[in-house]
A and B are shown apart, each in its own frame.
Chain A
């Protein structure tokens, strides 16, 4: 038990916070603890959570990815384009995911081979990818996508009463959890964030690992984008704007260190849940969205301050 606590100390704080927020909202609003609302909440967070999972990997290597929102928009727009041209939806989605992988790999290549700081590299590609999206869509939403069951399923479907986006999020979580916890790649991600020079001198191909990490993040961003596109049945050129901030917030609230090398993906899931609970709860309580931003910012600050204190 003691061992369990010391191993998970960084997550226990956010987890307790999540429970407290939930209890408060449960008392204040009768509709919070209804099954419908909870499933709705999970579906709402799935998009942010998917992006934040990728961001966790990036931040663990002591990097940052500001371009996730733009990758989401570009990947969604291109996928939507393929769909309107009549391509099989499953194939279109797979191609969309590969595009995300490639856009992320470009980030990784600029950062490793070009030796550009991740913040600057992804700030640049954030703008470039967004620009390409606007050029491609001519600034207008792409609509009339597909009425195929498979495509509708992604954003709007249910399996055994559980929203399909939630299932996608849980599958992605399970795979990424396994990678971080049990594989060589996961170990290398932590090592690079802990001390990149020592990792290279221990035989780790740090460049290759980082390119993978940014690629995975790109792919997860497009997956989130496809869910969004399916729900709206249209691809918006401005989709995903400022999503990077919510993703980074979820990672940080979840106790992952921006300095790299320390953190857990479970924490990110909890972080995304906390953000979701706040959004959802404040909506139920009819709090103006202007105030919601203040509350959200304050909670990010609180999470980080509490984390400092426990160290």
Chain B
């Protein structure tokens, strides 16, 4: 091709204190294409983006934008050349309005007076949202009250308002519902027609194959290859990413389903998010819980675990009614809960692996309130080995682990209590494909020793691939139970959108 790429990166090297994280990486994006950047956690994707936008300087290599060599020293300069990054943690100030967010740092004033021209900013905001085809956001809406999907639209509108030619999106769909993903994709495709390019960073293979034109794969800081999406396959991409055949995406199951362990009867929340939820989970069974964002899945689990107050309802373990005043009661009874948001609710990021694992196991490793170092070390080391946590040692801060390894630490913490029931809420979110499979394998191993597993997930292929039975929630009510052999995506979506009953 004789066309100059919009952005061209050649031979990029980058080291942090002697540790090489990028080695001779090539990357280019053409005008009007959607280019996926893929690799396991720690492969160097974010570093590459940071080198491009001037957050990090490079040790070697060249960057050209529209054929002209550039050396940005901060993201503002990159923005001036039309390169904008939309981070996974959105850059929105929640208590300001949409219009105020749009013009943050570049407010329009009446001449040089310093007095804000609200009217003009509002009308321009409205205009740019309309250009995106977004009609259900008003410039006066408080940004923090919008759904994540709408906030993202505001960010895209803001990027376009600065005449962005390349928008880099980091895990844009991680917190979106299916419907929001659809509208995001239609906006992205629209903009592509108008010549805007995208770099799309994601772990979700289905989405990449659905929307992207080309894909560049990194592994351990090395450039592995760039492929045309139409000429490659799922298996090939995975192989390039992990450097070996991964085999089946979901490990084969050999669990025996036994007696009912956990029984939930007519559980109703205090704040009205869900009503009369009843279900059972059996020994060795994986119950998948599906539903759209806001269906009340996480709320049901947090209520079972005693973290939220219930209005009414009974929870029985092995036929005995549980008193659930506080999570500690449920832990004592043998229920573990891996939360959806591992950074906010699952881990103490500034503490070590050892301290995090010990947290749910303080009773086991202590006597009369005094902690036994020996018992703590034994437990922690056993669990780190059992879950293959990749770490420099048990005293490493969890903050510095990759997403997949952080999740393994959370799981390790709960395996320590030898649970009878383990609830996993979005266990593979933000986790790379190799670690995903390891997590599925751990779940299967648990069912083999008779643990009842509940897995809440927004990824339908995962729900279908892992569960023995699927419960579907819609607006706080159970709308269907579907057995593994009868389940498919259509049935689940039908129930999740309220089609059943």
Contact = CB atoms under 8 A, between A and B. Distances in A.
Interface string B332-347: 1000010100001111
B358 interface: yes
A203 interface: yes
A182 interface: yes
A198 B348 CA distance: 7
A294 interface: no
Contact of B371 (A183, A198, A199): A183
B351 A200 contact: no
Contacts of A201: 305, 307, 327, 337, 339, 345-346
A197 B346 CA distance: 8
A151 interface: no
B130 interface: no
Contacts of A190: 351, 355
B487 interface: no
Nearest to A185: B369
Interface stretch (B113-121, B282-290, B359-367, B450-458): B359-367
Given A203-B331, A205-B326, A187 B348 contact: no
Contacts of A182: 370-371
B186 interface: no
Contacts of B345: 195, 197-198, 201
Nearest to A188: B362
Interface string B301-320: 00001010000000000000
Interface in B412-447: 413
16 contacts: A183-B369, A184-B370, A185-B369, A187-B355, A190-B355, A195-B347, A197-B345, A198-B344, A198-B345, A201-B346, A202-B359, A203-B331, A203-B360, A204-B359, A205-B326, A262-B350
Contacts of A183: 366, 369-371
Contacts of A195: 344-345, 347-349
Contact of B307 (A184, A187, A200): A200
A191 B413 CA distance: 14
Interface centre among B332, B337, B345, B349 (most CB of A within 10 A): B345
Contacts of A271: none
B381 to A, nearest CB: 17
Q: Which of B332, B344, B359, B370 has the most CB of A within 10 A?
A: B359
Given A187-B362, A188-B362, A261-B351, A198 B346 contact: yes
Given A191-B351, A201-B307, A204-B359, 18 more contacts: A184-B362, A184-B371, A185-B369, A187-B371, A190-B355, A191-B348, A194-B351, A198-B344, A199-B348, A200-B327, A201-B305, A201-B346, A202-B327, A202-B360, A203-B331, A205-B326, A261-B348, A261-B350
A212 to B, nearest CB: 12
Contacts, number: 75
Nearest to B366: A184
A195 B355 CA distance: 12
B328 interface: yes
A204 B371 CA distance: 15
Going nearest first, the 3 A-B pairs with the smallest beta carbon separation are A194-B348, A203-B328, A203-B331
A194 B360 CA distance: 15
Given A183-B370, A205-B326, A199 B362 contact: no
B369 to A, nearest CB: 5
Contacts of A203: 326-328, 331-332, 360
Contacts of A199: 348, 359
B304 to A, nearest CB: 12
Interface in A253-270: 261-262
Interface in A161-207: 182-185, 187-188, 190-191, 194-195, 197-205
A191 B345 CA distance: 12
A186 to B, nearest CB: 8
Contacts of B326: 200, 203, 205
Contacts of B328: 203-205
A203 B358 CA distance: 11
Interface string B350-387: 11000100111011001001110000000000000000
Contacts of B346: 198, 201
